[in-house]
Amino acid sequence: MSKRTVTLIIAGALALSGCQSAATSQGGRTGEFGCIAGTVGGAIVGGLVGATIGSGTGQLWAVGGGATLGSAAGNALTCAY
């Protein structure tokens, strides 16, 4: 896995985590942190798994697909909406 791939994965995770709000006790938002953490964590794991597949442009597609599927899976597992 190249430095560029790792940098892109970390930058994406930080960008997504910036969407988190600090309010955790307003109405139905008590599980918001867990939901966001599951989504971002799934994206990171999926991107890392995708980075181990293929090479060149195919690897870039695998990272993108892995991050997308990982974030969807993490969201489905941790969000109760």
58 occurs within a structural domain: yes
Using one digit for the tens of pLDDT, what is the confidence trace for 5-58? Answer: 777 777 676 666 655 555 444 555 557 888 888 888 889 888 888 888 878 888
- 3-state DSSP percent of the chain in helix, strand and coil, to 5: 70, 0, 30
Using one digit for the tens of pLDDT, what is the confidence trace for 46-81? Answer: 888 888 887 888 888 998 998 999 998 888 888 866
Domain containing 61 equals 33-81
Percent of the chain with pLDDT over 90: 6
47 occurs within a structural domain: yes
SS3 79: coil
> DSSP character for 24?
-
81 occurs within a structural domain: yes
46 occurs within a structural domain: yes
11 occurs within a structural domain: no
* 47, HSE (Cβ side, Cα atoms, 13 Å): 21
pLDDT at 68: 92
Tally the domains of the chain.
Answer: 1
Whose CA is closest to 5, among 68, 72, 62, 70?
Answer: 62
pLDDT at 25: 46
